[in-house]
Structure 1
Amino acid sequence: MGAAWAAPKRPDAAYRFDIPAQPLSQALNQLALRSDREILFSPALTRGKRSPAVSGAFTPEAALERLLAGSGLVVRLEGRSFLVVPAPREAPSEAAATTPRPEPPPQPIAIDSVVVTALKRSSLVQQTPISMTVVSGEQLSRLGVLDLEKASPLLPGLKLISTAFGRRLVLRGVYGAGEATTGLYYDETPMTGPVGTTADPGVMAPELALVDVDRIELLRGPQGTLYGSGAMGGALRILFRHPDLSEDSAAIGASASAAAHGGQAGGATAVLNTVVVPERFAVRVSAYEQHQPGVIDNVRLGLKDVDASRVQGVRLAALWETGSPFSALVSATHQTSHRDDISAWNDTAGPWKTVHAGRAPFDGEIDLASATLKWRGEAVDLTAVSSWYRWRLTRRQDYSGVLVGERTNAAGCMRMFSLSQACGEAQMSSYSAYVDSVYPAILNQPAELTAKIHELRASSVGAGPLKWTLGAYREVRGDYIDSQVRHVDPGTGALAEPPVLIGRRDIENHLSQSAVFGELSYAVAPETELTLGARRFDYVKRDRGAVQIANVVSGTWADYAIDARTEERGWSLKALASRRFGSDVFGYAQVSQGFRPGGVNVVPGLPEALAVYRSDRLNNYELGLKAQTGDGRVTANVALYRVEWSDMQYAAQTQNRAFTYVTNIGAARIHGLEVEATAQRVLGWDLAGSLTLTDARLTADQITNTAIGLGLEGDRLPVVPKVAAAASMERRWSLARG
């Protein structure tokens, strides 16, 4: 079955079409992409047929009728989709009444939609030169998937690394501290975590609940040209459903769950779509509340299921279409989340058990607003996006281990008594008694991150040999964190009241980034296309920090202060060649780059040479092949790549383990293979399988006299699996006709 699809638009809107004469199936795909309509047809109906050229301004229905002229086929409207069927036969004459009729051609079978916007323009997934996976919102809903942790098995190659504060997203083994290595997008908005005290925004990704999602697009490999910094390993795009202009609708869902070693939980979702002005203006609201059961027991404090969590949120979107080429989409999201304690257990205590002396709950509140304006012209499409988001959060981490390790440290005693020589026995005893008096403790860090993002881009329209996209990008991001080391009640692990502060410092970070980008594709032959892409980036990063209460244990002093900045500008480039081998096989070869901004470590006592760290970058060399059967039911995709990562940003710890900082040290090489296959409607079943092989190793020693925990040449990058595989099979039965 052939399926060409994009999000539905007004059926009577006129568009500019320039579709050359070509095989009919290809012309139908181009029409679907240009008009944002779904067209279903059986390959048996279009095989061997060619379409006439269609040029001018038409409604999608009128353009489709011109493509089908003289083909013996007609179009029928099924809901919001166009269904291509054989033209009705004339009533047979009496003489021909006894003549046997030929078997009718097979009717179309609903195959999952395969149109994506990974290139910031619509394209068919099997003809998009990116190693990528698309998961539909319908599939997420059927499986009850509401968060990234449960979605990750459906996204081959995506690794979620649990951290003390959240989850780090990793693609293709590009794992390291600093700015995120995998870009996270909600619709058109890139989002990241706060820089915090460790210069590590990628340590926790802002996760919105996967409610009322249209689709997820996972783009593997550097996306530095179109998506900019932070997409070194790839990009994860979560695209929510837009308001439907055609009809009112509502949906309610409920769930219940129980966890082994844990408790029970549940949740509910509700979605309402209201048409205010038919085919012109509609509003869509979704609300949700989800509870996850805890599974970790704190045996020290005698608490069970300490890591239970709760997420509540609401999303509002409004879509306005004037009937002209102009449209506007405005959306706003508010979400709160709470987790009772860190979701991790200790090897020494045994599976599903922890011995943390201090409890480390997490609280977060995300507000996101976005406006997208589109203008579709006869030669150029324009898109303008403005976004704003704020993430207020309080992250916490058990600090008791640092106190245990430092209670007999001579350097801490010297700091406490302001000595230039070793402490005496009485002084050492007094210092140890002080550390014991404030044990246990947690790191308590209220923080706020705010970002404003603007993007304007233009792309060509038409089916000529030349296609292009040009754009400009601007981001201003700032965050503030109040880092407190606070004593907790030894009996409950909760913060002691009134507060007992062991140390306190604040850090403020500001990033201003501008970029211009573009991609140019030219068809050097009917089935061969060459693409060149470039992004010119320019950023300024300023970091300021000061100590309000000295911490003699970790080594912060009261008069410590820093106010430093770093700036850099450069290019991120891409070269790509792609070719269609017949109608069912597509291949590509590319060289692409990715990068991340540098910054400043706000760490007391860190040598001046390590205070500033530079941007890092990588080069990706990739071969890809995508194949599908003529009816689109079976697909198989393979990608083979090599990544060379230089001047890599990586996390190091000071000798007393009290501070973590980012430094440029070492280099890495990553080899990988990605294989995916799907089969739909095979004896009623949908089958899928994937295999990912990753060999990520250091190619230079990480050498420094001021840090611990670094690696040597040939060491594997941590937490990057060599082999990852997944397989699924699904079948659905109708309970009743219709």
Structure 2
Amino acid sequence: MRSLTSGVVISCGAAFLSATAADAAPRYRFDLPAAPLATSVARISAQAGVTIIATTPALLAARGPSLHLDASVDEVLTRLFEKTPAQAIRVTPTSWRIVARRAVQTGRRSRPPPSVPIPADIVVTASKHVVLLSAYPASITVIEGPALTRFGGTPDTSAIARLAPGVQSTHLGPGRDKLFLRGIADSSFNGSSAALVGLYVNDVRLTYNAPDPNLRLYDVDRVEILEGPQGTLYGAGSIAGLIRIAPRPPDATTRSGDVWLGGTVIAHGTAGGDAGGVVNLPLFGGAAAMRLVGYVARDGGYIDDAGRGRTDVNRSDTLGGRVALRVPLEADWLIDLGAIVQDIRNRDAQYAERGLPPLTRSSIAAEPSSDFFRTGYLTVSGRIGGVDLTSTTDIVDQNLRQSFLPNDGNAAALYHQSDAIRLVSEEARLSSRKGAVLGWTAGLSVLDSRTEQIRTSLLDGFERSLGRAHNGLTEIALFGELTAHLGSRLSLTAGGRLTSVRLVGLASGAEEKSGDAAKIPGGSEPHFSGVRHEFFAVPSLALGWSPTPAWLAFGRFSEGYRPGGQTASGIIEEYDADRIDSLEVGLRLAAHGRARLSAQFSGAISRWRNIQADILSANGLPETRNIGDGEVRSLSASMRWKPDDAWEVKLAATLAGGTVTGRDATLDQVIRTSLPNVARDTLAASVAYSRAIDDRHRISAGASLNHVGRSVLGSDSITSMLGQGGYWLASGGVDFSVSSSTISIDVDNLFDSAANSFAFGTPTFSYDDHQMTPLRPRSIRLGFRHTF
């Protein structure tokens, strides 16, 4: 999104088609009720998939007329503003600027506007039908893409977590982490259970029961974070919430691109660097467009291994890219075809040991890991009669390999784990036309997940199987949601999802817990297989009340679920489905008229039944079990303030806490402990300054401060005593731009904190607190970017 420094952006998050020249502009059916001009412009932007910029927020404060006509964007904007002191000026084939009429007469041209971190109003695309941010009756955080690449950090989900305190993660290493949201966390380890947080690129589902692939988020328009449960629209794997990434779409009107290069110096470690580029190419005379993103990065190591006499062992290399092809078939139909590829190779684990020098451990072998991620997708969207159709098909292939060195005194043992994950999903939905007063969506979703997990141990040169598990899941679901306006200030949103799940399990190379394993004909290893069917009905209900155009009070009830399955870690075991329901209330203040302040406050309480958790088994490898029932409570607040056109201040904080009550296997008694890996309090504060020196030069600077509170590693009687977190992190940076080139210097972890971010490094037979995962030391990145 773009805006002048003094302006406000009102735009659609995903452009659905590209406009042609003015004399061949596509026409749309606009049905706009009488409403504030800001609301009407947002509806036009959403329906036509264009960007509309207002140079002064006050220009959109007045009430606009009711309009019902077939028209181009130029024509409807002319009608909308004909009796106001404003006028719409076309800047590019897909963008317009709203200016005061007297400003039009000067003939002066303005510089292209820079990004605004949170626009006045945008369409919440994760709602799957048109809902404006100012009217969305639930907690949501919107992060603009450029914010993800600031301060020298890695532009992945760790950057999202810094900007949105409600998002938290483990710190096993790139490609191995679990994500949590709103204090809903099951365990700190990776097992067979479905993810807690849904991860999407537009409508493309990236994961189901796999770790976060840690995709590098270059060339991203924005990220939407919806707190959970989100079972109505997104089904299993989203009981804690949803992270939806919206990349910048291909543009058929212009050839453009970016290239960047950066070098990073890490205190107490080796240097690293990153490079990449983006190219946007119109094809066939503007009949289609392609956007290519490619990148390579090396994150320098900073952990020393005294046992092997090596330094900086935890180097990580990432290579990846995206390709997106957009083909408008006609005015109302669009095809999007694309692929995402990324390879992560971690040379060693990133944990250290207490009792040794800082950033040091002692071991007899490396513990490398890798995560190879591939996905391809096809999205077809268009209009049938008076409704919109969207169909998305995607295939995901993810391969994760890990090696573990147990810390039990046995120097000759080594564990290997290989996870092969294949996910195929299809969703077809109908929804109300963009800009319609009544918002609704209804659809059919089909998902097929196949995983194969192989675990072995290598002892004195002999390899022994610890289990080979195949898990198959087929999910068919019908879903729908409707938003009705009960008067001018009150809205009611109701939804539901009906899901049928078929589970298929097959395991070998291990013993069944029941001891009644069948024998494979002609073989001698134990074997188990089974088929289960599960059915879920998930409702949701939300109420929104706007006492003024700037304020929205909301309440929401929602449910979520995760199907059962089986796990094999020396012993084959089944686990059952879990369910969660949540009640949330909140208040949102939107930037409105001349106001430069926006804010959001919310509180939620969730009841979690039959919690699935990945725990460490007796042999030190994760297995999935149902550990009991729990309750989660959270409070969150965020604020954005622009005291003038150059300065911006942001503040966000979360308080979260949860407990689980279940039977502890070690003590053989019922205990009540905290949910793991959930910081009791988190804080993100930032200040930014940006000023144009003249027509060619601009300077920008910013600083951020993050706090991550204390949490525990696990929920059993032993790991619940292992603490982590409780640290502060400061970062900052300066950019200097000359025309289309920018030089930047960013500092991360300014005060070189070595605090423990995660109290776990490798599977272990004897639990203690000597392992820790320190923060990456102070790093300084010098970067160069050129836009063409």
Q: Which runs of 5 or more structure 2 residues have no equivalent in the other structure?
A: 1-6, 20-24, 106-111, 188-192, 513-518, 697-788
Is 1:127 the equivalent of 2:121? no
State the SS of the aligned residue for 1:531: strand
In the TM superposition, what are the counterparts of 1:348-427 in structure 2 within 5 Å? 348-377=355-384, 379-399=386-406, 401=408, 404=409
Identical aligned residues as a percent: 23
Is 1:251 the equivalent of 2:258? yes
Cα distance in 1 between the residues matched to 2:321 and 2:80: 43
Greater CA drift, 360-369 or 183-192: 183-192
Q: 1:25 to 1:482 in 2, by over 3 A?
A: closer
Cα distance in 2 between the residues matched to 1:395 and 1:221: 30
Q: CA deviation at 1:736?
A: 4.3
Q: 1:711 to 1:143 in 2, by over 3 A?
A: farther
Q: CA deviation at 1:479?
A: 1.7
Conserved? CA contact 1:379–1:462, under 8 Å: no
Cα distance in 2 between the residues matched to 1:393 and 1:329: 28
Task: Name 1:480's counterpart in structure 2.
Answer: 452
> Taking structure 1 as the reference length, what is the TM-score of the superposition?
0.84
Task: Name 2:48's counterpart in structure 1.
Answer: 35
Q: CA deviation at 1:5?
A: 0.6
Q: 1:665 to 1:46 in 2, by over 3 A?
A: closer
Conserved? CA contact 2:220–2:246, under 8 Å: yes
Task: Name 1:189's counterpart in structure 2.
Answer: 204
Greater CA drift, 159-168 or 357-366: 159-168
Is 1:468 the equivalent of 2:434? no
Query: Higher relative CO (CA 8 A, sep ≥ 6), structure 1 or 2?
Result: 2
Conserved? CA contact 1:146–1:209, under 8 Å: yes
Cα distance in 2 between the residues matched to 1:25 and 1:136: 20
Alignment: residue pair count? 657
Task: Name 2:95's counterpart in structure 1.
Answer: 81
Q: CA deviation at 1:710?
A: 8.9
Q: CA deviation at 1:586?
A: 1.1
Structure 1 letter corresponding to 2:479: F
Cα distance in 1 between the residues matched to 2:60 and 2:383: 29
Task: Name 1:150's counterpart in structure 2.
Answer: 159
Cα distance in 1 between the residues matched to 2:486 and 2:104: 46
Q: 1:294 to 1:370 in 2, by over 3 A?
A: same
Task: Name 1:538's counterpart in structure 2.
Answer: 500
Q: CA deviation at 1:400?
A: 5.1
Cα root mean square deviation, aligned: 2.8
Structure 2 letter corresponding to 1:172: R
Q: CA deviation at 1:716?
A: 1.6
1:165-216, Cα deviation, whole Å (9 max, x unpaired): 71110111211152111111122222237xxxxxxx45x2222111221211
Is 1:694 the equivalent of 2:702? no
In the TM superposition, what are the counterparts of 1:428-507 in structure 2 within 5 Å? 439-461=411-433, 466-487=438-459, 500-503=462-465, 505-507=467-469
Cα distance in 1 between the residues matched to 2:79 and 2:578: 53
Q: CA deviation at 1:723?
A: 0.8
1:143-172, Cα deviation, whole Å (9 max, x unpaired): 454222233211221111123771110111
Return the match for 2:614 from 651, 668, 672: 651
Q: Which runs of 5 or more structure 1 residues have no equivalent in the other structure?
A: 92-106, 194-200, 405-435, 489-498, 551-556
State the SS of the aligned residue for 1:388: strand
Is 1:569 the equivalent of 2:541? no
Task: Name 2:477's counterpart in structure 1.
Answer: 515
Is 1:712 the equivalent of 2:694? no
Q: 1:2 to 1:209 in 2, by over 3 A?
A: closer
Task: Name 2:180's counterpart in structure 1.
Answer: 170
Conserved? CA contact 2:510–2:571, under 8 Å: no
1:513-533, Cα deviation, whole Å (9 max, x unpaired): 111100011111112111111
Q: 1:507 to 1:109 in 2, by over 3 A?
A: closer
Structure 2 letter corresponding to 1:451: L
1:699-736, Cα deviation, whole Å (9 max, x unpaired): x3x2155x5799722x2212211111110011123354
Conserved? CA contact 2:229–2:238, under 8 Å: yes
State the SS of the aligned residue for 1:67: helix
Q: CA deviation at 1:359?
A: 1.4
1:297-320, Cα deviation, whole Å (9 max, x unpaired): 111111111111000012111111
> Taking structure 2 as the reference length, what is the TM-score of the superposition?
0.78
State the SS of the aligned residue for 1:34: helix
Q: CA deviation at 1:658?
A: 4.4
Conserved? CA contact 1:111–1:633, under 8 Å: no
Return the match for 1:20 from 33, 39, 47: 33
Structure 2 letter corresponding to 1:446: S
Q: CA deviation at 1:579?
A: 1.6
Structure 2 letter corresponding to 1:73: A
Cα distance in 1 between the residues matched to 2:595 and 2:283: 38
Conserved? CA contact 2:9–2:52, under 8 Å: yes
Is 1:586 the equivalent of 2:552? yes
In the TM superposition, what are the counterparts of 1:62-141 in structure 2 within 5 Å? 62-79=75-92, 80-87=94-101, 111-112=116-117, 113=119, 114-115=121-122, 116-141=124-149
Structure 2 letter corresponding to 1:183: G
Q: CA deviation at 1:621?
A: 0.6
Q: 1:244 to 1:206 in 2, by over 3 A?
A: same
In the TM superposition, what are the counterparts of 1:579-658 in structure 2 within 5 Å? 579-605=545-571, 611-630=573-592, 631=594, 633-654=596-617, 656-658=618-620
Q: 1:311 to 1:363 in 2, by over 3 A?
A: same
Greater CA drift, 236-245 or 41-50: 41-50
Task: Name 2:743's counterpart in structure 1.
Answer: none
More strand per residue: 2
Conserved? CA contact 2:615–2:625, under 8 Å: yes
Task: Name 1:286's counterpart in structure 2.
Answer: 293
1:686-708, Cα deviation, whole Å (9 max, x unpaired): 1101110012122x3x2155x57
Cα distance in 2 between the residues matched to 1:166 and 1:159: 14
State the SS of the aligned residue for 2:603: strand
Cα distance in 1 between the residues matched to 2:285 and 2:383: 21
Conserved? CA contact 2:186–2:676, under 8 Å: no
Structure 2 letter corresponding to 1:248: R
Q: 1:108 to 1:482 in 2, by over 3 A?
A: closer
Structure 2 letter corresponding to 1:157: G
Q: CA deviation at 1:509?
A: 1.5
Cα distance in 1 between the residues matched to 2:308 and 2:79: 75
Structure 1 letter corresponding to 2:161: S
